[in-house]
């Protein structure tokens, strides 16, 4: 399937799929969307929650590793907060080296060596990217995730229900619920009703919160 590089409104780039008229990130701003949805309402929310007790390591699972932007931002934040983070990014169709070179995240965020390490490290192996950030990239389908009681935070960044409704089902969210520790947090840019109902049906406590620029709402789910 053809993929093209496009520039979003905050100047950061993303990947566009013409056949689906779908992007890897919001056209209103790739970086600002990632910071708002995943770092602010996911990672930071968990660290500030009553269920969080300062621990030696926080485990993050990303559904849809894509361009690696969410992992990159999390690695930067882990260094800023001196937060030890173990991060697993799951992706069915990794981007090419040509697409990687066309992305401009380090022009805004710097940390060139961290970004390159994220993309050049081996798949299917845990790699220490920096003092506070360990990464495992896994190439597999989301239904093949069989972890149990392992993750504090899940970044659910799959393609939207319009183009891949099979990724927003009870079966998928049941796997997410099993994979998450008690008091864990799942966040996604999506706010559609059927996605919310699927999350609730498997046991999540789900809230609508303010969305990133260009979206009124997003969803945050907690495993109590």
Residue with tokens 């070179």: 101
- The pLDDT of residue 218 is 98
pLDDT digits (tens, 9 = 90+) for 100-143: 999 999 998 989 999 999 999 999 999 999 999 999 999 999 98
pLDDT digits (tens, 9 = 90+) for 206-222: 999 999 999 999 999 99
Q: Residue 27, SS3?
A: coil
Pair of tokens at residue 210: 């303010």
Sorted by sequence, the CB contacts under 8 Å of residue 217 that are 6+ apart come out as 191, 208, 209, 210, 211
pLDDT digits (tens, 9 = 90+) for 160-207: 999 999 999 999 999 999 999 999 999 999 999 999 999 999 999 999
- The pLDDT of residue 52 is 76
Distances (CA, A) of 88 to 14, 26, 85, 169: 21, 22, 10, 21
Q: CA geometry: angle at 13 spanning 126 and 93, to 5°?
A: 45
């Amino acid at each position: 399937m053809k993929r093209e590089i496009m520039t979003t409104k905050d100047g950061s780039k993303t990947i566009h799929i013409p056949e689906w008229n779908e992007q890897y990130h919001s056209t209103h701003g790739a970086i600002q969307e990632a910071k708002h949805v995943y770092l602010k309402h996911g990672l930071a929310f968990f660290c500030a929650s009553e269920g969080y007790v300062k621990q030696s390591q926080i485990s993050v699972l990303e559904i849809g590793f894509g361009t690696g932007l969410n992992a990159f931002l999390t690695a930067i934040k882990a260094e800023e907060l001196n937060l030890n983070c173990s991060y697993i990014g799951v992706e069915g169709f990794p981007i090419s080296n040509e697409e990687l070179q066309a992305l401009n995240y380090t022009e805004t965020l710097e940390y060139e060596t961290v970004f390159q390490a994220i993309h050049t490290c081996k798949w299917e192996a845990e790699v220490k990217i920096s003092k506070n950030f360990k990464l495992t990239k896994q190439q597999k389908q989301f239904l093949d995730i069989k972890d149990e009681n392992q993750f504090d935070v899940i970044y659910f960044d799959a393609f939207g229900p319009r183009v891949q409704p099979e990724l927003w089902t009870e079966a998928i969210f049941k796997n997410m619920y099993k994979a998450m520790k008690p008091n864990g947090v799942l966040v996604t840019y999506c706010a559609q009703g059927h996605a919310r109902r699927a999350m609730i049906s498997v046991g999540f406590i789900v809230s609508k919160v303010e969305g990133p620029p260009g979206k009124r709402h997003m969803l945050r789910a907690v495993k109590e």
